[in-house]
Every structure is written in structure tokens, then in C-alpha cells.
Structure 1
Amino acid sequence: MAGIKVSTVVEAPAERVWELVGDFHGLGGWHPHLPVSRLGDGPAGNAIGSVRIFDLDGVELQETLLAYDEEARSYTYSFPDGTFHFDGYRATLRVAPVTELDAAFVEWSVTFDIEPEHRKESTDRVQGVFTSGLAALRERFTG
């Protein structure tokens, strides 16, 4: 099992940051490199089992919401085995308060299995998505 963790501090209260990132279907609205998703089969909103679908240059990416915790400000999602060579892909986005600064700590992490020949390219892609998303989120609240 391999994994990636990317984090940042956003200069805004955790509640405000969560209002934006806590919408499972809203990722494409604040991430600069992802399109707006559409609702797939299953329940809508932040209900467990909800599916968001991204159209990425002719590739359809379906992500399914596995866990959602409003109080802890986190959610976990997956996509089907074999997507971008990953198996067991489980990603979590969470927002925690940095009380001393009245700011938010935002972490995006993932665990997965992947064949060695695909590890570098695929993990670099995911790390880039996470890093650019969190950078845009930080800039959104400081600008």
C-alpha cells in the first residue's frame, strides 16, 4: 500500500473553508484543473454512495463518496480499481482549525496499490492534482 499526503494552511476560519470544500460535488468549482462534475447514479449531495463524474479529456472519472463527517470536516471517496492504474484508491479531504491563527489546516491524502511500472507517472499526476488544488484554495482565501 502506498500513499500521498499534501497539506496547507489557509488564512480563513475552518468553518468558511469547509463551506466551500465540504460540498463533494463542488470540487470543480474551486479546483483550477478540474471541470465541474456531474451527478452519477446514486444519491445526490453529500450522501454516502453519491457519485461525481468528471470528463477529463475524453476520459470519464467516476468518484464515489464513501464517508462524510460534517462535524470532523472530512470526506473520503474512491474510484474504480484500474482507473489510472490504481487499485484500492481511497482519498480523504479534511479541514481542521488552526485556533491560534484563526486559520484552517487542509489535508488531502490518498492510499492505493499500484504496479511499480506505473507508480511514478500515476502518483506524480495525483500529487499534482492535490498540490495545485490546495494552492488554489489557499489563494482564494488570501486574495
Structure 2
Amino acid sequence: MASTSVSRVVPASPQQVWNLIGGFDSLPGWLPYIPESTALEGGRVRRLTNPDGDVIIERLVAFDEAERHYSYAILQAPFPVTGYVSTLRVHAVAGRDDVAEVQWSGRFTPDGVTDAEAEDLFAGIYRDGLAALHQALAS
């Protein structure tokens, strides 16, 4: 099993960040790669569409409002992996209430690619996503 994790400090309090990203169906509000999200099964599943029209279906597998994190599994996606589970987490930064650290991590089994290729793919997705989040919060 392969894994990757990317973190970034963003210009908002942990609660402000969580208010933007903590909803499982909130990706279109901050992630340009996902312009459309449809909540299914009472909000436990999301059907995402990317700009190319590819469909990604994910299931919420863990959610903790107090600790500000959730985990999800990919059920269907155009990615070369199986068994994908990811966590999006918001941390406080010691001594600061005007910034937060956001960590996006995932573990998965590469399918038809090397561990390094799959890790690079998701590290890029996470890095670009956290850069978009930073930009959304800074504007």
C-alpha cells in the first residue's frame, strides 16, 4: 500500500477553514478541479464531476466535527489505484489564531503504476487543492 500527505498553512482560523471545507459536499466552494458535487444517500456519498466530465464517487467513512477532520473512500474514479482512503484535517497552529494548518493525506494500492507514480499523482492533487484553498481564503 502506498501513501502520501501534504500540509499547508492557510490564512484563516481553524474554525473559518473548517466552515469552508468541513462539509462533505463543499468541494466546489474552494476546489476548482471539482465544479460540481451532488450529495447522495443522505450526504454520506458525493458524486463529483471534474471539468473534463469525469465522474468521481466517494463515500464518507469518518467525520469528527470537534476534531475538524473527515475521511472518505473512492468508490469510482479515473485514477490508477484501488482501496483509496483519504483524510482532510484542519489543525490549529500554536500561538496563532489567524492561521490554520490543513493536512490532506491518502493511502491506496497502485493499479498499473508504481507506488511512486501514484504517490506523485495524489501529492500533486493535494498540493494544488491546498493552493486553491489558500487562494480562496486569501481573497
Normalising by structure 2, report the TM-score. Answer: 0.87
Which position in structure 1 is the counterpart of 2:2? 2
Distance 1:11 1:118 in 2: 35
- Aligned residue pair count: 137
Unaligned 5+ runs, structure 1: 45-49
Which position in structure 2 is the counterpart of 1:101? 96
Which position in structure 2 is the counterpart of 1:111? 107
Distance 1:35 1:12 in 2: 23
Could you list the structure 1 runs, at least 4 aligned residues long, displaced by more than 6 angstroms after superposition: none
What are the equivalent positions in structure 2 for 1:1-143 lying under 5 Å apart? 1-40=1-40, 42-44=41-43, 50-56=44-50, 57-80=52-75, 84-102=79-97, 103-115=99-111, 117=113, 119-143=115-139
Structure with the higher helix share, 1 or 2:
1
Distance 1:18 1:27 in 2: 12
Identity across matched positions, percent:
38
**Secondary structure of the residue that 1:127 maps to in structure 2?**
helix
Unaligned 5+ runs, structure 2: none
> Would you say the 8 A contact 1:11–1:142 is kept in 2?
yes
Distance 1:18 1:131 in 2: 18
Q: Report the more deviating stretch, 55-64 or 114-123.
A: 114-123
Distance 2:10 2:30 in 1: 14
Structure with the higher strand share, 1 or 2:
2
| Deviation by residue 1:102-142 (Cα, 9 ceiling, x = unmatched) | 12110000001114635455443322221111111112223
> Would you say the 8 A contact 2:48–2:56 is kept in 1?
yes
Which position in structure 2 is the counterpart of 1:47? none
Q: Report the more deviating stretch, 109-118 or 90-99.
A: 109-118
**Secondary structure of the residue that 1:72 maps to in structure 2?**
coil
Distance 1:5 1:24 in 2: 19
**Aligned CA distance change for structure 1 residues 99 and 114 (closer, same or farther; 3 Å):** same
**Aligned CA distance change for structure 1 residues 59 and 139 (closer, same or farther; 3 Å):** closer
